[in-house]
Structure 1
Amino acid sequence: MSNPVPAIARHTLRRDDAFPRRAEALGFGFHSPDGREYWARDACYALTPEVIDALESAASELNAMIAEAVSRVVRRGDYTAFGFTDRLAALVEASYRADEPSLYGRFDFRLAPDGAIKLFEFNAETPAALFEAAVVQLAWFEETPQGPATRPGSDQWSRIDDALVARWPALGLPRLIHFAAEHEREDEVAQVAYLMATARAAGHEAAFLPIEDISWRESAGFVTPAGAPLRACFKLYPWDWLDAEEGGRLLPLGRTRWVEPARRMLHANKAILAELWSMFPNHPLLLPASLDRAAIAGPAVGKPALGLEGHGMRVEGVAEDPSTGIAEGLPLSPTIWQQWSPLPGHATPQGDAFPVMGVWIVGDEPCGLGIREGAELVTTLEDRFVPHVVL
């Protein structure tokens, strides 16, 4: 009897130092930040079609569950656990009641060797690594031949590009959309440039605008450096950061349509994990979560409600503490406790690697996978992106 194919396996490949350089033509210039290899040049993950189907189903089900949880939070009108200022809370409620549409988001899942899936969190406002998942790993797949030393698999879960192009018209935005990011962040500028390309493919005009160059005029609201009104703007910059800045007081007065809208702060906030657990206790896709540490039996990870990309997490009840430091400038916010469920390790020549499954959703459509792995149990932006194949 043949051995069953594992749900996910890590394959060591012949090292390809040339691919990252070739990918620079796509705009992937941040493959080696500070001399660190961000793109995995010698590995890929292989998943079965059944596991891809399960990840897709999990994202669809959780997307609906989170929407239900968000509705309950807004009806209750208490945002204490979310760490919102009164101004942010008002922006959230106004955005929710206007039913402002969303573009995209990324679920972070734990995938067990047997295929079991658990939600770690939902990056629903400023999710990172989209460009790598949608463009770079597809280019890697298409130009890397199938073979024992190159790559296994005959497919890849990658419908992100088509989904984004199809989604833009549903947002009801004017023809010209500005796209804002911190101009010194090469990875963010690349992601924004990619999203600009998808908007243009959907029939929009797109213009880049450094986030710090947005200003205010009493007669027009938020404006570009040329003084043109900022009617629609995709921003790769968190709402709570904007609120904390000097111009935050102007946010409720502006006339700009922002993508992602303010209501997505509820989806992205770690407090929604506790809300989900209270509504759907013992759901197979969820880990126990609460504002009360005592409510979580055994080891638990504490996550800042307004935390981003693994920063500020602390773990209690384990011998080897994988806690991370607080990123400079993060607003203080309540801690949400989630049952500690460490990532399964995959053996590499350098030691175990711990992959997290990033499932992308555009609108309400799960449409692709990006995998990041680290040498530690908490995944951060310092870890590697590893391409995947479907067997």
Structure 2
Amino acid sequence: MVSSKMQRISITPRSDWQDKCDEVGFHFYELDGLYWNERVCYQFTSEQIDEIEAATQELHELCLEAVDCIVSEQRYQQLSIDPDFFELCCRSWTREDLSLYGRFDLAYDGVNPPKLLEYNADTPTALLEASVVQWMWLEEVFPDADQFNSIHEKLLAQFQTIYENSPPQGKYLHFTCERDTEEDLGTVEYLRDLAMQAGFETKHLYIDEVGWDSHRMCFCDWEYKPIKLMFKLYPWEWIVDDEFSQFLLNEPMQLLEPPWKMILSNKAILPILWELFPDHPNLLPAYFDSSPLRHPYISKPIFSREGANISIYYGDRTYQTPGIYQDVPVIYQAYFPLPEFQGCYPVLGSWVIGGEAAGIGIREDRTPITQNTSQFIPHYFI
């Protein structure tokens, strides 16, 4: 355990920071107001970074053990996964289908061990800003300092690994996301550029442009080119509900993230992790019902995004966030308050790429639950 809090420091923004962001394809820095905020930054010590990195790697290994348990014990009902799609998960896990990335959301104050809040294992964003943008900021603002950030290099290396392990027909990689979502498009285009550097031919198409060819029994793009391998910034639980989802069960194409990540992107993994590894220093108590927990505790829909439909139960009052997931099953987790710095609450997004801890990005909000109104804050360590 380290002995001093991480520091939140006020600094002067670069005069041309908007231009610098635009140069690397980061155009959504004013998403819902000011999103990229370099008026402040977080400072860590090397010991704190070592602790974050070690915790991230440890959590990744625990998650893999949990998937193995869930698959072997056929625990799909706890995750509310359709049995046919759970079988798809099992085949994907047994084949050891390659994964690209994931992001643990951690509560950390620099003194106590990092605590896992949830795992964004399927469609994590805040990627371009965590990799290229904050590294560029570091080189200009704190050139003598360091940053926990090998995200870009590890993404490229993992795309190269995926390329080398793909059959000839899989050397063409489609990328898809929803329309009218600037953040998703920026993330996908960044990843597509890395994939091209790794050797892939690529094409972008929106999710509504993915079609099914009933004659050739394959998915195809708008030019009727078969889709054999596709990166999707589109959640697995939405895919399962799609009218074409049943065609995926025969696996006419491979997807990134692979089907087995459906298990880890489900917040039901949190009580299963606590069951398998009780009292682990990087886990919070979590259950499928609230009775073992004391106030305050929190409920989370097992499928949800951006802090939506989360409730904190204080005993005499309840704090709730709005959202569209009110009819989704929930899990219950001990409430672990985020550290507070000048009225701001940071969450560390700690990246796992190709199975290795790769760096952090920090989002902070002015509420105890990080939502889509949060700001991204760069960091460095000394």
Q: Do the two structures share a fold, i.e. TM-score over 0.5?
A: yes
Q: 1:317 to 1:17 in 2, by over 3 A?
A: farther
Residue 199, structure 1, aligned to residue 200, structure 2: no
AA aligned opposite 1:225: W
1:285 and 1:209, CA in 2 relative to 1: closer, same or farther beyond 3 A?
Answer: same
Aligned-residue offset at 1:234:
0.4
- Retained in 2: the 8 A contact 1:220–1:229? no
Q: Which moved more, 1:317-326 or 1:239-248?
A: 317-326
Shift of 1:191: 0.7
Alignment of 1:81-92 (within 5 A): 81-92=78-89
What CA RMSD, in Å, does the superposition of the two structures yield over aligned residues?
A: 1.8
Q: Secondary structure, in 3 states, of the residue corresponding to 1:208?
A: strand
Q: State how far apart, in whole Å, the 2-side matches of 1:165 and 1:27 are.
A: 17
CA distance in 1, matches of 2:112, 2:200: 40
Task: Say which is worse superposed, 14-23 or 57-66, in terms of deviation.
Answer: 14-23
- Where does residue 111 of structure 1 map in the other structure? 108
Q: Indicate yes or no: 2:341 matched with 1:343.
A: no
Distance 1:332 1:222 in 2: 31
> Once structures 1 and 2 are overlaid, which stretch shifts more, 281-290 or 332-341?
332-341
Partner Cα separation in structure 2 for residue 332 and residue 71 of structure 1: 29
How far has the Cα of 1:321 moved from its partner? Answer: 4.1
Q: Hey, what does 2:225 align to over in structure 1?
A: 228
2:98 alignment counterpart: 101
Contact (CA 8 Å) 1:126, 1:236: kept in 2 or not?
yes
Match of 2:24 in 1: 26
> Contact 2:309/2:326 (CA < 8 Å) preserved in 1?
no
Q: Deviations over 1:346-375 (max 9, x none)?
A: 01xxxx000001111101110111000000
Where 1:126 maps in the other structure, the secondary structure is coil
Give the match for residue 173 of structure 2: 177
CA distance in 2, matches of 1:43, 1:320: 33
| Aligned counterpart, 2:244 | 247
Write out the 4+ residue segments of structure 1 that deviate beyond 6 Å after TM superposition: none
Match of 1:267 among 264, 267, 270: 264
Equivalent residue number for residue 130 of structure 2:
133
Quote the residue 1:186 is aligned against: 182
Summarize the Cα distance change of 1:250–1:217 in structure 2 as closer, same or farther, 3 Å threshold: same
Instruction: Supply the AA of the counterpart residue of 2:148.
Output: W
CA offset digits 1:254-299 (Å, max 9, x no partner): 4111000111011121111101111111111111000010011221
Structure 1 pair 93/333, CA: closer, same or farther in 2 (3 Å)?
farther
**What does residue 362 of structure 1 align with?**
353
Aligned mates of 2:314, 2:339 — CA distance in 1: 18
Moved more, 63-72 or 310-319: 310-319
> Structure 1 residues 49 and 113 mapped into 2: Cα distance closer, same or farther (>3 Å)?
closer
Mark the CA change 1:19 to 1:251 in structure 2 (over 3 Å): closer, same or farther.
same
Letter in 2 for 1:380: Q
User: How much has 1:24 moved relative to structure 2?
Assistant: 1.0
**Cα distance in 1 for residues equivalent to 2:286 and 2:328:** 16
Whether 1:323 and 2:320 are equivalent positions in the alignment is yes
- Residue of structure 2 equivalent to 1:164: 155
Q: Does the CA contact (< 8 Å) of 1:274 and 1:289 recur in 2? A: yes
TM-superposed CA distance for 1:16, in Å, is 4.1
Identity %: 33
Q: Hey, what does 1:50 align to over in structure 2?
A: 47
**CA 1:380–1:217 in structure 2 vs 1: closer, same or farther (change >3 Å)?**
same
Contact kept? 1:221, 1:253, Cα under 8 Å: no
Q: Which amino acid aligns with 2:19?
A: R
Q: Aligned with 2:244: secondary structure? A: helix
- Larger displacement relative to structure 2 (246-255 or 356-365): 246-255
The count of residues paired between Structure 1 and Structure 2 equals 375
Identify the residue that residue 155 of structure 1 maps to in structure 2. Answer: 146
Deviation larger for 9-18 or 201-210? 9-18
Q: TM-score, normalised by structure 1?
A: 0.91
* Aligned residue number for residue 280 of structure 1: 277
Q: Helix, strand or coil for the counterpart of 1:157?
A: coil
Question: Matches of 1:39 and 1:359 in 2, distance apart?
Answer: 18
Q: CA deviation at 1:113?
A: 4.2
SS of 1:293 mapped into structure 2: coil
CA contact (8 A) 1:354 1:377 kept: yes
Label 1:287 to 1:97 Cα distance change in 2 as closer, same or farther (>3 A). Answer: same
For structure 2, the 5+ residue unaligned runs are none
Matches of 1:357 and 1:365, distance apart in 2: 16
Helix, strand or coil: the match of 2:86? helix
Distance 1:292 1:5 in 2: 35
- Report Cα offsets for 1:181-204 as digits up to 9, x if no partner: 113111111111111111122122
Q: Distance in 1 between matches of 2:329 and 2:100?
A: 27
Question: 1:194 and 1:283 mapped to 2: Cα distance?
Answer: 36
Provide the rounded CA distance (Å) in 1 between the counterparts of 2:16 and 2:130: 19
Distance 1:375 1:137 in 2: 21
Q: Go from structure 1 to structure 2 and tell me whether the alpha carbon gap of 1:71 and 1:380 turns closer, same or farther (over 3 Å shift).
A: same
Question: For 2:291, what is the secondary structure of its paired residue?
Answer: helix
TM-score under structure 2 normalisation?
Answer: 0.93
Indicate which of 283, 296, 305 corresponds to 1:299: 296
Q: Contact (CA 8 Å) 1:103, 1:260: kept in 2 or not? A: yes
